[in-house]
Amino acid sequence: MKLFALLLSAVLLCFGSLHAVSPEDLDRLLGTKNCPLCNLRQAELEEALLTGADLRGADLIAAKMHRIDLRNAEMAEAKMSRADLRSADLRSAVLKSVNLIGADLRSANLMNANLDGATLIEAKLDYATLQGAVLCNTTLPDGRVEYSGCTLRE
């Protein structure tokens, strides 16, 4: 039984490390703020100043981004499930079709953010600021889909 547990632990450890952050992608992000499609899974980005960053399609699953500054960032289609975004500044960020399943957004500022098509199932939004945010076809933490921010297109 102990051997099985040891082998299982080793397999899980190896599997987890296969998807960990790419050091090259992390350096690129911090140096240029331009990192679309980057592998930043489980990245340590607490309090980083990334205003206006391009993170379209980036893998930020389980990234630690407590108190990060992502104002005006372009993050469409990013994967951010289980990310720690407590007290993050996401004002006017473009979060279209972002996966935020299980993300921690407590006390985050999402004022005027575009969450069109985003998925927030089981996300924590306690004390988050959502004034002016676009919630169109946005799946809320309880699974309901919100359409109140949709506008008619000509």
CATH code matching the domain that covers 21-154, chosen among 3.40.140.10, 2.40.50.360, 3.30.565.10, 2.160.20.80: 2.160.20.80
pTM confidence score = 0.86
DSSP string, 91-127: TT-B-TT-B-TT-B-TT-B-TT-B-TT-B-TT-B-TT
The residue extents of the domains of the chain are 21-154
Block mean pLDDT (10 aa), the chain, length 154: 41 50 96 98 98 98 98 98 98 98 98 98 98 97 94 67
Q: Report pLDDT for 112.
A: 97
Cα(112)–Cα(129) distance, rounded to whole angstroms?
A: 9
Gyration radius of the chain over CA positions: 17
> Residues 89, 95: contact at Cβ < 8 Å?
no
